[in-house]
Structure 1
């Protein structure tokens, strides 16, 4: 396999995934905010809350369509660009995606239609139930997709079958309750709730700065302030739990995020800021807070956080063990009934993936020299500076959101939400949660490299046999199509926001003359 083919396929998948995730988190968060808004309408009977719900539901719908369209493309890419990955791991990876389609996507796709067209056909409680089921289906979709992704991060509940040359499920319960998948799910959906809250807060601030649709803006801001404060706090707490899972399951990723080049005495301090130097394998001008990393990563004061150098040494040992499994597997291909080869392979099978790291530079890993094995071991280290800074920027933005929503909550409680400096801050904050979310995925996925399936299948071996021209053409095509879709999406959003929550009425109130309840013909 030409390594550049795999790299181009990675670029294509990264572009489509990052674009797709512009829409997913807003859908996740807005869906449950709609449930909250409509619940208030059902409990109070005030028509203004019906108008609030319908307005944000319209923006939810625009975003939902784009999320579905871009998500389908990603699923097809597993077959077009990552066919060997699909063959090697399809027995495990395909099951959650199939369940997502059958259990979650069909639910949300059915209920979203009833939600939009059932306002005058269903009872208040019936329509609220439909809205809730739409939100449930949306979040269940995220659950099953993150179970699949979590298995790539921590491949539990599966074994390699030398007879079929594939990974196969032996414990689906372990796949389902994978601690990495569960931590990723709650952290990801909480981030989606923050994105939706900032979106609602920002649009509400825009209306209030213009003095338009004040009854709608005030109520929307109140919901966003409370929902956003709880969500931003949960992101930090659940992000800490997500980081804790790295200690046992992805030690190299944790070491790279912290630029921990060597194992420090327990409890390790956390580097707040510094400048990682890959060439010298050190971090210059570091500012460290003692004990904090040890407490976060190990929940103790006597356990160490393993450094990069020690993890590379472990990888070197695992490569040597994996080569024994690789030689036994070559024997089993020719003589499947060889008992001694079966026993040898079973003993070293858990390290086979490490031997496959050598195939990026040579066709036959069994002839690797000690220097080549050492180089392959160092290839397990992801880009430390990228992960180091991406994580810190993401975390800094997370604390900024807590401050933003805490301020919003206080001002709303004191009925001083029309404070202009705060409204300007809320409006300027609109793009920031998307930046934080994309940085989070960068840390999660780039930090897993060089593995498509951590410790099992190197990324370079999972790609399809394609030409450079084919991949470059599809990258250009996707960029053009997605760029057009982005312009349409933003245009529709801006138009809907500009016309405001009374667009569905026969008459639209003039600015400054805004009824609390809509007027119907």
Structure 2
């Protein structure tokens, strides 16, 4: 098979991004759980809570270190593999990344050091503030990254400048308050909280099965089950909000997720099961739940959800409009100065400029979109349909696991309330075996988000194929092999360190518990 620079560049970024996200959710969730545990320690003075904070802090530190190294590499790829993307939208996309590095990351990294080395150098309250600062920095990092990613899904607050041939910021406040970005942020961090909760729950369950560190394990499970249940429920609610925004801003993604080939009368049914076929352009053996999709996606009984066939017809119209914009753009640039641009060309671009990106889809077939045939326009319109089977099943696996997490957390919350956490060994084994599942759900979530945006690197603005660097396929393939080798070594090291720390268990903490000294003895002294 012929090596394609675009596909190889996508493969490399997907591999590094998915690998990096193995560490992000645990960092987000554990930072909050550490802050909660230390808050209890400061409020009660009980040594066991300090011991818990330090033990889970070690696992947090291992995960944080590997996550930082992989995240930095991922960001460098924008310059290495996606140089035209960086040129085209660097004014907008670069700002959130810069703020994330200058504010959130340095805040987090600075206080991580104080967290580990400040136990005997800071007061209890001072160290607690440090721990909450770590949690704040972790979540702020996610906020700015997701503002950047959300802008790629919904490019609000920006406009194309025909003189510079770049996207430029029109309203930075609109970029920051992008509803897609805000929905992705709260949904992603909630998923991180679930991941950390199940991790703590599973490791603690293993201790109970082995009869080790029982008091620490029971308290950890209680915190994890309580926090995790709230987080799991919020993931569902916030995921619903994210889906509602997809209906408004990314209609093709929603239609592909539902394998909805044709527009249905409102309210649309939800396809619980089916076998979508890109070749046949239909879903075989579909099992549908009446009205459900209409209620979820539109929150009404009368709003129609367009199907893939109708959306491709709209894409054809937008490609034709984009060709007009492309022609006007060439004339504007040929004029040389703004004063020399004719009113007709300026108006043609103003009226059709929003569809310029659709004309660029034709670059796959012709060098000059203005020479495209009707057949090529139709083919380019169908290129706007992402992989329907991939999205259909990725979404359902993610949702199914989310419902399982709610049931798991609710069960252990009920057991913790009854103080019977160690009574049912079968449930403890389920908690242990469930440890990898949140990562699987999170990775499938990113598959839905990113494959669902294809063929766009910026929705409706810049096709992925137009954003790559001028590199040879062999060069990109070589870097992929290098990343695979290095990242394999890193994951082996990370897993070995995590398993070693878990097997070793918490270090004994010799700090005296002041509240255990009877008050009458203090008075007698």
The TM-score range, normalised by the shorter chain, is over 0.9
How many Å separate the matches in 1 of 2:510 and 2:95?
Answer: 45
In structure 1, list runs of 5 or more residues that go unmatched: 507-516
- Do structure 1's residue 42 and structure 2's residue 42 form an aligned pair? yes
How many Å separate the matches in 2 of 1:504 and 1:7?
Answer: 53
Aligned match of 2:415:
411
- Do structure 1's residue 347 and structure 2's residue 348 form an aligned pair? no
Equivalent positions of 1:88-127 (< 5 A) are 88-127=88-127
Aligned match of 2:484:
479
Q: Deviations over 1:129-179 (max 9, x none)?
A: 110011000000000000000000001110100000000000111111111
How many Å separate the matches in 2 of 1:442 and 1:361?
Answer: 27
Aligned match of 2:164:
164
How many Å separate the matches in 1 of 2:211 and 2:181?
Answer: 45
- Do structure 1's residue 376 and structure 2's residue 408 form an aligned pair? no
Equivalent positions of 1:219-234 (< 5 A) are 219-234=219-234
2:439 to 424, 434, 449: 434
Moved beyond 2 Å, runs of 4+: 503-506
- Do structure 1's residue 16 and structure 2's residue 19 form an aligned pair? no
Alpha carbon RMSD of aligned pairs, Å?
Answer: 1.3
The TM-score with structure 1 as length reference comes to: 0.96
- Do structure 1's residue 338 and structure 2's residue 334 form an aligned pair? no
Cα displacement (A) at 1:503: 6.5
How many Å separate the matches in 2 of 1:504 and 1:192?
Answer: 29
Q: Deviations over 1:388-446 (max 9, x none)?
A: 00000100000000000000001111111012011000001011000000000000000
How many Å separate the matches in 2 of 1:239 and 1:375?
Answer: 33
How many Å separate the matches in 2 of 1:98 and 1:261?
Answer: 41
How many Å separate the matches in 2 of 1:389 and 1:485?
Answer: 30
Cα displacement (A) at 1:3: 8.5
SS of alignment partner, residue 4 of structure 2: helix
Equivalent positions of 1:119-158 (< 5 A) are 119-158=119-158
Equivalent positions of 1:4-403 (< 5 A) are 4-336=4-336, 337-339=340-342, 340-403=344-407
SS of alignment partner, residue 507 of structure 2: coil
Query: Contact 2:112 / 2:134 at 8 angstroms: preserved in 1?
Result: yes
How many Å separate the matches in 1 of 2:374 and 2:365?
Answer: 14
How many Å separate the matches in 2 of 1:311 and 1:103?
Answer: 41
In structure 2, list runs of 5 or more residues that go unmatched: 517-525
Query: Contact 2:3 / 2:473 at 8 angstroms: preserved in 1?
Result: no
Q: Deviations over 1:66-116 (max 9, x none)?
A: 110000001100000000000000010000001111110110011111111
- Do structure 1's residue 445 and structure 2's residue 447 form an aligned pair? no
Q: Deviations over 1:312-336 (max 9, x none)?
A: 0000000000000001111112113
Cα displacement (A) at 1:364: 1.1
Query: Contact 1:26 / 1:195 at 8 angstroms: preserved in 2?
Result: yes
Cα displacement (A) at 1:121: 0.9
How many Å separate the matches in 1 of 2:256 and 2:289?
Answer: 17
Cα displacement (A) at 1:504: 7.5
How many Å separate the matches in 2 of 1:255 and 1:245?
Answer: 13
Q: 1:269 to 1:129 in 2, by over 3 A?
A: same
The TM-score with structure 2 as length reference comes to: 0.95
- Do structure 1's residue 468 and structure 2's residue 473 form an aligned pair? yes
